[in-house]
Chains A and B, each alone.
Chain A
Amino acid sequence: MPNKLLLVLLVLAFSIPAQAKETAADNYKAYCVQCHGMEGNGKGVNVRDMSVIPRDHTDAKAMSGRSDEMLFKVIKEGGTAISKSNLMPPWAGTLSDEEIKDLVQHLRILCKCKFGT
């Protein structure tokens, strides 16, 4: 009986595709750079015709005015969730909560800042 259980568990383990977590640096490179720029300065390749320029992630003053919770919310639900531009899309369908938390920490590295400092 334990052998059968083990077999069932093994089959289950291999039939569920493991969605490996991506690093924050790679997620930033894939999804954020197109608008926020190679250097995170808000000057991405897409910005030319935008009515609202993306946030400069290296701007410590502006970024320290955003709490981690707010950054999490805007990445997950998009700009309108914090009354900002809808040009910032929601990434809930792309990134896991854990990946979004890692991205928030990545933003803190880019701005060299913390909330309220």
Chain B
Amino acid sequence: MKRCVMVMLLGFSANILAEGMLQKECASCHNISAPVAQTLKEAFAKKGPDLSYAGNKYRQEWLASWLQKPERIRPAGMYYGDHIKPGAKSDEIDPATLRDHVALSKADATAIAAELMKLRPHDDLIAKEKIEPGTITKQMGEMNFDKFWGCMACHLIEPDFGGVSGPELYTAAKRLQPEFIASFIRNPQAWEPKTWMPNKEVSNGGIQKMVDYLQVLSKETANAK
């Protein structure tokens, strides 16, 4: 009984500590509880992705793992305009302006990930998405992604191919919930009114194919490691 109470207390205090860390450390770069950016001024000022809907967006196991060993997801930072400079052939990323994410201990990362998963203001949008288990050949998926929808303009599909103003997508299916991917492609502005991601009016079938392709891509990246 005593042990049980002790475990409950430890769990409870870990929650309080994680909540405190979210509101203090994380909130210095991420929005946790305020409305998402409603103006470009607010969007330009963002230092990290909005976490106020983290529980609708991320996979908990990915969050816990990434926070211990963070790797850059947005090659040109949060607002790419702050991290580019004119280059010989085209504008280039200015690495000197980019800051790495702090790495957390396993205990902190696990507690923060659990705390973030509680932030779910858009269960309504997620509930609208019906993702069927499916797959697509890499070749077909790539054709849709690159040629048909033109997503490669802004996203990397492998470390050395694609655009850099958006987040890389070769680990997208590992880090994001499939329903979030679907909902964000369907209507990015429903999540972030000022996002650089355009609404390309992708059909239900097109969205399913994109989710399948990102899963193929993430599995391939995981196998390559």
Contacts and interface: CB of A to CB of B under 8 A. Distances in A.
Interface string A41-73: 001111111100000000000000000000000
Contact of A38 (B38, B40, B84): B84
Contacts, number: 105
Given A86-B148, A87-B153, A93-B198, A43 B89 contact: yes
Interface stretch (A3-11, A23-31, A108-116): A23-31
B189 A90 contact: no
Interface residues of B, number: 41
B200 A44 contact: no
A29 B148 CA distance: 26
A93 to B, nearest CB: 3
B161 interface: yes
A104 B89 CA distance: 26
A105 interface: no
Contacts of B84: 38, 45
Interface residues of A, number: 34
Given A29-B81, A30-B43, A46 B199 contact: no
Given A30-B40, A38-B84, A43-B86, 15 more contacts: A22-B39, A26-B44, A29-B44, A29-B81, A30-B44, A30-B196, A33-B81, A34-B80, A45-B91, A48-B90, A50-B153, A85-B150, A89-B200, A90-B198, A93-B187
25 contacts: A17-B38, A19-B193, A30-B44, A30-B194, A34-B163, A34-B196, A43-B86, A44-B165, A45-B80, A45-B84, A45-B164, A46-B163, A46-B164, A47-B90, A48-B90, A78-B198, A86-B147, A87-B153, A89-B198, A89-B200, A91-B198, A93-B187, A94-B194, A94-B195, A94-B199
